[in-house]
Amino acid sequence: MGNIPSDHPRYTSLLLRDRLISGIQNGITSQHGLIAHGRGESFDYLLSERSLPTANQAARAAAAHITLAKNPVISVNGNSAALVPAEIVTLSELTGAAVEVNLFHRTEKRIESIISHLNSHGASNVKGISATSLIPGISHDRAKVAPDGLYAADVVLVPLEDGDRAEAFNKMGKTTLVIDLNPLSRSSQLATVPIIDNITRAIPNIISHFENISHLSPKELMDITINFDREAALEESERVIRNGINKL
Ligand code: PTJ
């Protein structure tokens, strides 16, 4: 990364910005992705750039849902592909979840660039090119999904999502695992499991929970999903953002 020393106090943040800029240069990330990232950064700053205990519990519940799922799918957009490509591939390989590129600012060229970026991190069989099914009730391009991917999924992991698709997935009876730093966004508010955390911490967190719980019985996994308190997770993160981490 440029000439920023690794002991710079904002090193991690600057590194992530660099990944997104490279993402734009390589045709992966949309320019709107920078604006979305800036919004995320401001929430993360107020969360002290740390995972709250409830974000950790949410990641555990997400890992349990994925383990129990018959057909879990990880949805990937231009920001998540630029920020955490290797982690997405690891999560998919460990859990057997499929990966599908699904874009708000959809072009075939971007889909292809993202798939080859994920392939260069070890992915194979990434879906998204052949998106011949439509999610009912969505009028923009995110409605276009693979019939054997997001359309058929029972559990969907949807990072940095817009609310109307999360709502549409809910209406289709799917379990929605949303990663979003904004607890007030419609996707967070509507998610079965809102993970209010940076995707760069949330995906590694889901991976390590999966490694710890994947041996549990279906009943024990089910208990983890049932005992997760989504309202408490939303409330805690909003309280910290409004009042500061010391009022946790
Ligand atoms: O690649 P595309 O074409 O599919 O477009 C992707 C973006 C992200 C541009 C598009 O989905 C979009 O405009 O998203 P929104 O509506 O701005 O929502 C993005 C949400 O993600 C916001 O609530 C941000 O706070 C949140 N966010 C941004 N960066 C992160 C994040 N949440 C977790 N981790 C982040 N690093």
- Asked if residue 6 is part of any domain, the answer here is no
- Asked if residue 8 is part of any domain, the answer here is no
Q: How many domains does the chain have?
A: 1
Q: Residues 173-180: what's their mean pLDDT?
A: 98
Q: Whose CA is nearest to atom 8 of ligand 1?
A: 33
Q: Which residue in the block uniquely carries the two structure tokens 């660099």?
A: 18
Instruction: Give me ligand 1 centre to Cα 154, in Å.
Output: 23
- Asked if residue 140 is part of any domain, the answer here is yes
With a 6 A CB cut-off, is 180 part of the ligand 1 pocket? Answer: yes
- Asked if residue 134 is part of any domain, the answer here is yes
Given a cut of 70, whether residue 239 has pLDDT beyond it is yes
Instruction: Give me ligand 1 centre to Cα 30, in Å.
Output: 11
Nearest to 83 by CA among 40, 51, 47, 138: 40
Nearest to 121 by CA among 91, 166, 156, 79: 91
- Pairing, β 133-134 against β 144-145: antiparallel
- Asked if residue 64 is part of any domain, the answer here is yes
Instruction: Check: CB of residue 99 under 8 Å from CB of residue 121.
Output: no
Nearest to 128 by CA among 156, 158, 148: 148
- Taking the CA of residue 142 as reference, the ligand 1 atom at the shortest distance is 4
Q: The domain containing residue 89 runs over which residues?
A: 53-243
Instruction: Give me ligand 1 centre to Cα 95, in Å.
Output: 24
Ligand 1 pocket: which of 12, 79, 107, 177 to mutate (most atoms <8 Å of CB)? 79
- Asked if residue 30 is part of any domain, the answer here is no
Instruction: Give me ligand 1 centre to Cα 33, in Å.
Output: 6
Q: Whose CA is nearest to atom 15 of ligand 1?
A: 36
Instruction: Check: CB of residue 103 under 8 Å from CB of residue 110.
Output: yes
- Taking the CA of residue 32 as reference, the ligand 1 atom at the shortest distance is 9
- Asked if residue 237 is part of any domain, the answer here is yes
| pTM for the structure as a whole | 0.96
pLDDT in tens, 5-43: 888 888 888 999 999 999 999 999 999 999 999 999 999
Instruction: Check: CB of residue 160 under 8 Å from CB of residue 199.
Output: yes
Given a cut of 70, whether residue 1 has pLDDT beyond it is no
Given a cut of 90, whether residue 245 has pLDDT beyond it is no
With a 6 A CB cut-off, is 20 part of the ligand 1 pocket? Answer: no
With a 6 A CB cut-off, is 104 part of the ligand 1 pocket? Answer: yes
With a 6 A CB cut-off, is 36 part of the ligand 1 pocket? Answer: yes
Radius of gyration of the chain from its Cα atoms, rounded to whole angstroms: 17
Query: Residue 218 sits in a domain of what CATH number?
Result: 3.40.50.12640
Ligand 1 pocket: which of 35, 83, 160 to mutate (most atoms <8 Å of CB)? 160
The C-alpha atoms of residue 188 and residue 132 are separated, in whole angstroms, by 27
pLDDT in tens, 131-174: 999 999 999 999 999 999 999 999 999 999 878 888 999 999 99
- Asked if residue 29 is part of any domain, the answer here is no
